[in-house]
Amino acid sequence: MAAAPIRFTAVVFLLLQLSCCLLASPSNSHGLLMLDRFHGWMARHGRSYPSADEKLRLFEVYWSNVEYIEATNRDGGLSYELGENEFTDLTNEEFVARYAGGVIADADADDAVITTLAGDVSEGEDDLITKLSVALPSSVDWREKGAVTPVKNQRQCGSCWAFATVAALESHHQITSGELVSLSEQEIVDCDRAASLNQLGCKGGSPLKALAWVKAKGGVITEDAYPYIVKNSWGQTWWQNGFFFIRKGASGRYGMRGIVGLGGVYPA
């Protein structure tokens, strides 16, 4: 019971801080509406903050991002519209630091050759176009042609290189076969591991080298058979190198499909 006054004081302090922020805005009513919108966003994404100061700071970031979203959409200069998502309380710098930077550049990237069953594809764009016997459209939306899987989430793992590899393979397979199959990023993250080649799992890697690994292996398994497993955010010192272990052969919510189907299981 002794903790109740402390919690009440913290709540009052937060309200006073938010009130000062809102009173400083051009429109108090707009600020209150934005605060209500922020609370709704927090509820939808299960967001909570460790302190009143942090909540105030991220409310201001959220507000700034929402204003940018709405101004950009009003301008109409894009072929698409922006919208809120789970990252709307992050600055651009925070987002890049947390989720980007997983691709390790190849020293010989300019001279790289990707070999396919149809032959090497190292020719220049002009040479390639002259070899095509059909008229090229001005633009192609591969989503409309069913060649793009739904958006995936790499979470806080520098595995964008594996996602880029898999996305290219998924689309290529659909374009050539007519069948769109979601493939496994997790297999590449787990198995294409070579420190000498800078293939470092969640610490980064190269899509070109991953494609070469897939070719040498003879393919990549489907996502259904080898799904993307949630890795906790406390690093590799927790549990077994940072991963959960599940019982082999377990079905339902206690097996792999249960973990993935429930949207991820986190330690508490």
Which regions of the chain carry the CATH code 1.10.287.2250? 3-99
What class, spelled out in words, does domain 3-99 have in CATH?
A: mainly alpha
In this prediction, residue 103 carries a pLDDT of: 64
Sign of CA dihedral 77, 83, 89, 93: negative
Which regions of the chain carry the CATH code 3.90.70.10? 109-228
In this prediction, residue 211 carries a pLDDT of: 92
For 35-75, how does the pLDDT look when each residue is reduced to its tens digit (9 = 90+)? 999 999 999 999 999 999 999 999 999 999 999 999 999 99
CATH no. for 109-228: 3.90.70.10
Q: Are 35 and 43 in contact (CB under 8 A)?
A: no
Model confidence at 203: pLDDT above 70: yes
For 87-120, how does the pLDDT look when each residue is reduced to its tens digit (9 = 90+)? 999 999 888 777 776 666 665 554 444 434 444 4
What does pLDDT average to over the chain?
Answer: 74
Which amino acid would we find at residue 21?
A: C
27-48 residues labelled b (16+ CB within 10 A) or e (exposed)? eeeebeebbeebeebbeeeebe
Q: Are 182 and 223 in contact (CB under 8 A)?
A: yes
Q: What is the pTM of this model?
A: 0.56
Token digits for 51? 């302190």
For 127-184, how does the pLDDT look when each residue is reduced to its tens digit (9 = 90+)? 544 555 566 677 788 889 999 999 888 877 888 889 999 999 999 999 889 999 999 9
